[in-house]
């Protein structure tokens, strides 16, 4: 499935005793990545905006993590919320 539809399906589970207020990280990140179209698109725009080369420190890890999120949700159809 497409990543944008995956992000739309994510829901935030309500817990009365959740220790923090405000948005939860996973739900916020999925909506943020959906606005960037795909995690891969986000990685490329981040690199461009920060003017970083692909061999800069942490760029390989950033790219792999975002690829993992995209494949887990779209290919494996894992619920990422």
What pLDDT, on a 0 to 100 scale, did the predictor assign at position 50?
92
Identify the pLDDT of residue 81.
64
Element counts in the chain: helices (H) and strands (E): 4, 0
Instruction: Measure the CA–CA gap between 18 and 7, rounded to whole angstroms.
Output: 22
Res 57: pLDDT: 93
pLDDT for 51: 93
Residue 1 has pLDDT above 80, yes or no: no
pLDDT per residue over 12-65, tens digit each? 777 788 787 777 777 778 878 887 788 888 888 889 989 999 899 999 998 998
Which residue reads 């959740």 in tokens?
A: 18
Is the per-residue pLDDT at 11 higher than 80?
no
Pair of tokens at residue 74: 């779209």
Q: C-alpha 53: how far from its chain's center?
A: 21
pLDDT of res. 54: 87
Neighbours of 27 (CB within 10 A): 16
């Amino acid at each position: 499935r497409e990543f944008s539809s995956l992000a739309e399906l994510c829901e935030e589970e309500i817990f009365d005793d959740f220790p923090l207020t405000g948005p939860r990280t996973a739900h916020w990140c999925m909506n943020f990545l959906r606005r960037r179209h795909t995690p891969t698109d986000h990685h490329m725009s981040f690199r461009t905006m920060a003017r970083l080369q692909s061999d800069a420190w942490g760029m390989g890890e950033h790219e792999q993590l975002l690829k993992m999120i995209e494949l887990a949700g779209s290919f494996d159809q894992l619920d990422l919320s």
